[in-house]
Amino acid sequence: MKDFHFSLNLGLIGTDDSRIDIILDYLKEKTKLTSSKDSISEFQFIYENVPLKMKIFHFKLFEDLTENINHLKKFDVIIVVVNLYNDQAISKLTLNTYKEFCDIFMFNGIAALVGIDPYLIEQNNPPTSKKINEIFLIQKTKELKFHYCFKIQNSQKDISDIFNKVLNNVILKLEFINPEMFERVKTNGKDSVGKYL
């Protein structure tokens, strides 16, 4: 039981300009990267005394996930990241595309829409004004029937907030599904030496 942990599959969706690399860099800094190849990265860490192994599958579009169904398992969390200066990426997100993904993967996990301001993060002046404001981001979240909406302006604080919110929800689910095993794993987590997110 010493090395037991809960596994978590997370789909991270975003085009090149959405800067999902900022999220992956944050996780590499805060957790232990155990493997990385192509569009899959695996991290190990302890959250709220619960040892977790999180596998992240990163793709540009929902369609890329559905095309790779043979290589993928179920998802617990989906995070869609859009650049606040690129309204093309967000306009391609539709409820039908999301529903198709949910049907194919029988997804009933947590979904979040994240708007990222790469210029503010890097403390540069943007070449144009934002094309996606907070109100539009919130409306799109409601339209897609996602659970959460976030904005990343400060990579450390904002990404931490996203994972705290999502992982708290995951932990509650794990505790509800199998309380006895959850307590055993959590006790094991207290004795583990590992990185904390």
Instruction: Outline where DSSP puts E strands in the chain.
Output: 6-13, 32-37, 40-47, 50-59, 77-83, 110-116, 148-152
What backbone torsions phi and psi does residue 16 show, to the nearest 5 degrees?
-55, -40
**Structural domains in the chain plus CATH codes:** 6-191 (3.40.50.300)
Indicate the average pLDDT of the chain.
85
pLDDT value at position 179?
A: 76
Of residues 193 and 171, which shows the higher confidence score? 171
According to the model, what pLDDT value does residue 1 have?
Answer: 38
Q: What proportion of the chain, given as a percentage, has pLDDT over 90?
A: 38
Could you tell me how many residues make up the chain? Answer: 197
Q: Which residues pair with 42 in a beta bridge?
A: 35, 55
Q: In this predicted structure, what is the pLDDT of residue 164? A: 93
What is Dmax (Cα atoms) for the chain? Answer: 54
Closest C-alpha to 6, from 41, 49, 65, 69: 49
Q: What is the pLDDT of residues 67-122, one digit of tens each?
A: 666 566 789 999 999 999 888 878 888 999 999 889 988 899 999 999 998 888 87
What secondary structure letter does DSSP report for 176? H
Whether the CB-CB separation of 105 and 137 falls below 8 Å is answered with no
Spatial contact of 11 and 59, defined as CB atoms under 8 Å apart: yes
pLDDT at 192: 55
Verdict on whether the full-model pTM lies above 0.85:
yes
pLDDT band at 140 (very low <50, low <70, confident <90, very high): very high
- Cβ atoms within 10 Å, residue 156: 11
Helix, coil or strand: residue 163: helix
Band of residue 184 on the pLDDT scale cut at 50, 70, 90: confident
pLDDT given for residue 4 in this prediction:
61
Predicted pLDDT of residue 72: 67
Secondary structure (H, E, C), 101-125: HHHHHCCCCEEEEEEECHHHHCCCC
